[in-house]
Amino acid sequence: MAAPQPTNENSPGPGDNAFTAGPPESEAGGILTIDLSAIVANWRSLGRRTTPCECAAVIKANAYGCGIEQVAAALAKAGCKTFFVASLAEARRVRSVVQGHAVYVLNGLAPGTAPLFAEINARPVIGSLVELAEWDAFCTAQQWRGGAALHVDTGMNRLGITANEAAALAPRIRSENHGITLLMSHLACAELPEHPLNDRQIRLFREVRILYRGIPSSLANSSGVFLDAAAHCDMVRPGVALYGVNPTPGRPNPMRPVVELRARIVQIRNVPRGETIGYDGTWTAKRATRLAVIGIGYADGYLRAASASDQAPGGNAVIAGKRCPFAGRVSMDLMAIDVTDLPDAAARRGDFATLIGDDLSVDDVALAAGTIGYEVLTGLGHRYHRVYRTDE
């Protein structure tokens, strides 16, 4: 049986600056607050850095866990004209709230799906000669003029035609109905500014762009925005930076935080010194310990890799304004937090622990779990009560 999906959000009324989705707050283990105004502010900030290039928005993976419909609508209202998603199903969700904007599907053209792209006026990102042949055949037979992107592999070695194949195809742009609305590639190491692959990819893509003069081009992702202007081309397409993750690791985060996650404390309990906590007994109380047990776990997308043990500290939560360490394994629906150092009445049943927010950023959570902010955000589950905030 498929997992239950969140209920439809309650549309804001006149003067409201928030609306909700998912189960009611009283029935949820946690509250996930998403600041749509911060997403818009981050998009505008990235756009200012790259003027006069167009700033598109990558909203794949449910807008990095933040809600694809809500984010698409907010960015479209703010002036974003071009969106990138991973799949045709995601493109369909964007089209349910946004009309008249370009929607590119990064994973390309699956066999037999060309009519479905036309149905919702989405554009495939063509990444192979086989895909191109199938798309061309459909466009010729149906006289479809919706356009497509051509993806050239410049060093990622994942999707895309080779530079030599792109050169061989270049004469087609002299045709009136060539159908290529965007030439693009993807940076592999943009978050490492000194990596030599960045320069190699920029140079190779520049050579291909010359052959496709007059066709808009795009190379830079979130971190690519902060590389030399040579990476910006005609369009940048930030993703994770829109949602508050630091696109410049090792330097101060230039983006506004977007997500706050709070989880309800379901029980306070005392554990004697020497007792173990949670599955497999990996964490041992080194003193008489007071625990706050909260009502979310890895089924809600909080990473099990952030578990604490006698060998590794694991993650933290903020309770009563203070960071408190995890105790034991993150389990499916529950996790324990050591609140021994808080005053006795500072943590009570029904209170909330902050897991993202206050002084715990998405990047902090990722570091504790040995991963990246992308995984933290895209794993955000559907069991939370979601609150969407907007200034408009």
pTM value?
0.94
Amino acid at 81: K
pLDDT in tens, 47-82: 999 999 999 999 999 999 999 999 999 999 999 999
Using pLDDT thresholds of 50, 70 and 90, give the confidence band for residue 16: low
pLDDT in tens, 286-296: 999 999 999 99
- The domain in which residue 263 lies consists of 259-360
Is residue 295 assigned to a domain? Answer: yes
**CA–CA separation, 245 and 366 (whole Å):** 10
Q: Are 208 and 180 in contact (CB under 8 A)?
A: no
**CA–CA separation, 242 and 42 (whole Å):** 5
Which tokens go with 310?
């006698």
Do 125 and 47 lie in a common domain? Answer: yes
Q: How much is the mean pLDDT over the chain? A: 95
Which tokens go with 330?
């993150």
Q: Is the pLDDT of residue 17 over 90?
A: no
Residues designated as active site: 60, 279
Q: Are 31 and 353 in contact (CB under 8 A)?
A: no
- Tell whether the torsion through CA atoms of 273, 278, 279 and 284 is positive or negative: negative
Using pLDDT thresholds of 50, 70 and 90, give the confidence band for residue 125: very high
Using pLDDT thresholds of 50, 70 and 90, give the confidence band for residue 11: very low
Q: Is the pLDDT of residue 15 over 80?
A: no
Residue 136, classed as helix, strand or coil, is: helix
Is residue 349 assigned to a domain? Answer: yes
Do 347 and 274 lie in a common domain? Answer: yes
Is residue 11 assigned to a domain? Answer: no
Is residue 382 assigned to a domain? Answer: no
Do 267 and 160 lie in a common domain? Answer: no
Whether omega before 52 lies within 30 degrees of 0, making that bond cis, reads yes
Mean pLDDT, range 142-158, rounded to an integer: 97
End position of a domain, from candidates 215, 243, 271: 243
